[in-house]
């Protein structure tokens, strides 16, 4: 006899990213929604996403979507900025077409809204991967919330891979960060969007170079608030009174994910399942 599927409220919230950077988002979700269960997928075998084409990113995102649908996710968080910029509409179309009617949230809109609210000078900066900058997704989102704002975008092709390689950070990381900050200093921005989930890990370096008066906007807290609002509106919040569970899937080496992921998440990582995706070709 097959066990019946859990009711929608008790299904997990799924989160996916190209690697471990999305754990900075999961960390905020675990704090904001302690009674929810979470399932995180890190596509570490195909990391980094930042130099991929839009077509590749859409294919990867839809492939992961199918896997997470099969795991009965009640809501999907696309924690990867590159995937959000290239594939969010396609993922939403796929998810809402199911009988579950799963909603999808990405990182770009919440960050852009908060940046528009915070900026006094209307000069906003963006640090992101090449794919994210090239997509123009942040330009459109910022313009939607502040039509008079000027966005200075800086592509940072090697910053996420450097961070993903692990700790401790050395002078190479510091010099890389300083170089990427220079165009933003020249543009005299007062607000900077961290357009990659890895970048909060070097926030102290960024803040020191940009100055204490510049607001850094990361996706984790803003996205956690959006998830909470979405669950309430859809009447999908967990009814549990105890802390929820969090589980992990990864497409690359499990032990590497565990060692690095625990530093990003700042919580223990126990259960990790290795999964194979059909087109897991490294960048």
**How far apart are alpha carbons 225 and 218 in whole angstroms?**
13
Cis peptide before 48 (omega within 30 of 0): yes
Give 166's DSSP letter: -
Per the document, the length of the chain is 283
Residue 110: which of 140, 131, 141, 150 has the closest Cα?
A: 141
Bridge partner residues of 250 (DSSP): 42, 274
Q: Which residues contact 212 (CB under 8 A, 6 or more apart)?
A: none
Catalytic residue numbers read 80, 196
**How far apart are alpha carbons 220 and 218 in whole angstroms?**
6
């Amino acid at each position: 006899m097959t066990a019946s599927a859990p009711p929608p409220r008790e299904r997990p919230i799924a989160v996916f990213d190209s690697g471990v950077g999305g754990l900075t988002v999961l960390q905020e979700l675990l704090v904001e929604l302690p009674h929810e269960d979470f399932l995180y997928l890190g596509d570490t075998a195909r990391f980094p996403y930042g130099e991929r084409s839009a077509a590749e990113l859409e294919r990867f995102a839809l492939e992961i979507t199918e896997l997470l649908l099969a795991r009965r996710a009640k809501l999907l968080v696309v924690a990867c900025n590159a995937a959000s910029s290239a594939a969010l509409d396609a993922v939403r179309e796929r998810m809402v077409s199911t009988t579950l009617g799963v909603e999808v949230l990405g990182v770009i809109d919440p960050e852009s809204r908060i940046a528009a609210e915070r900026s006094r000078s209307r000069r906003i900066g963006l640090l992101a991967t090449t794919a994210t900058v090239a997509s123009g997704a942040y330009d459109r989102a910022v313009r939607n919330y502040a039509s008079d704002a000027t966005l200075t975008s800086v592509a940072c092709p090697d910053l996420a891979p450097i961070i993903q390689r692990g700790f401790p950070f050395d002078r190479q990381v510091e010099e890389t960060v300083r170089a990427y900050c220079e165009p933003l200093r020249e543009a005299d921005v007062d607000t900077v969007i961290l357009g990659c989930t890895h970048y909060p890990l070097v926030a102290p370096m960024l803040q020191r170079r940009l100055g204490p008066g510049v607001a850094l906007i990361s996706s984790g807290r803003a996205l956690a608030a959006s998830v909470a609002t979405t669950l309430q509106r859809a009447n999908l919040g967990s009814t549990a009174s105890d802390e929820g569970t969090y589980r992990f899937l990864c497409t690359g080496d499990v032990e590497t994910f565990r060692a690095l992921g625990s530093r990003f998440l700042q919580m223990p990582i126990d259960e990790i399942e290795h999964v194979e995706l059909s087109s897991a070709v490294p960048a």
